[in-house]
Amino acid sequence: MSVSVRWLGHSACSLDIDGRKVLIDPFVSGNPIAKAAAKDLDAEIILLTHAHGDHVGDSVEIAKRTGALVVCNFEMGDWFMAHGVQNVYQGNPGGTYRNDWMSAKWTIAFHSSSFPDGTYGGQPNGFVIRGGGATIYHAGDTSLFSDMQLIGEEGLDLALIPIGDCFTMGIDDSIRAIKLLQPKVVVPMHYNTFPPIEQDPQAWAERVASETDAQPIVPEPDGSVSVK
């Protein structure tokens, strides 16, 4: 079994689970740090954490081209269906989407959620994703919250957490989050895309290494981290 995470920049990731592809928050077009092109991204599943433009990104184009199933909250699913994407699975925190090779459980996230056109985008979320023998947490956009301890009890091989500050937790709170989540490996996201979320990821990595039990990995945009 082999599982890897390709970080596309910002919160966008492509998971490879035994050769099958899951995209998360595929914001590539207009993403100043992304190296991949949307037309080259393939997926069977697209997981979305909320409706902001820097997360929905290229989802409509990719879903229409590939036929990927869009897994998102209820209100977002209605918006996708109204925009010509019929292959949608709608859920909300606590629920789990399952198929025969992976699952994704909606977790809470403290943030807001509206589409760029102003449509209400439901409640933001993260996901605990299982597949290929690995468990991965993608936090979405969120502040620190103490129930991260419950998410940590799931046994995380890898956690992707925002560190940019301003719209999400910053570095100080990310250290507290890692202590609650207890992942084996932690990857920072949602930083250095735009001026309000500039951070030094190497300074973050040094703090993670000295203050937590997790191994920090800072990929370059389009770099991959192997999980299993």
**Contact footprint for Mn ion (CB under 5 A):** 54, 141
125 or 212: whose CB is closer to Mn ion? 125
Inter-CA distances, 33 with 3, 61, 221, Å:
24, 20, 7
Residue 110: exposure state from Cβ atoms within 10 A (0-12, 13-18, ≥19): middle
Contact window for Ni ion (CB under 5 A) among 44-52, 125-133, 176-184, 188-196 = 44-52
Distance in angstroms (rounded) separating the CA atoms of residues 171 and 161: 10
Q: Does 141 bind Ni ion (CB under 5 A)?
A: yes
> 9-44 burial string, b = 16+ CB within 10 Å, else e?
bbbbbbbbbeebbbbbbbbbeebeebebebeebebb
Nearer to Ni ion, 52 or 130 (CB): 52
Number of residues that bind Ni ion (CB under 5 A): 2
Amino acid at 33: I
* Residue of 7, 17, 28, 52 interacting with Ni ion (CB under 5 A): 52
First CA to last CA distance, the chain: 7
* Nearest distance from C-beta of residue 50 to Ni ion, angstroms: 6
Based on the shown chain and the rule CB under 5 A, indicate whether residue 165 belongs to the binding site for Ni ion. no
In whole angstroms, the minimum distance from the beta carbon of 64 to Ni ion comes to 23
- Alpha-carbon distance 28 to 76, whole Å? 19
CB 48 within 8 A of CB 25: yes
Instruction: Pick the piece of the chain touching Ni ion (CB under 5 A) from 37-45, 96-104, 135-143, 179-187.
Output: 135-143
Q: Which of the ranges 85-93, 137-145, 178-186, 187-195 carries the binding residues for Ni ion, by CB under 5 A?
A: 137-145
Provide the minimum distance between the beta carbon of 25 and Mn ion in the complex, in angstroms, as a whole number: 8
* Interface segment toward Ni ion; rule CB under 5 A; list 51-59, 64-72, 86-94, 193-201: 51-59
Residues at the interface with Ni ion (CB under 5 A): 52, 141
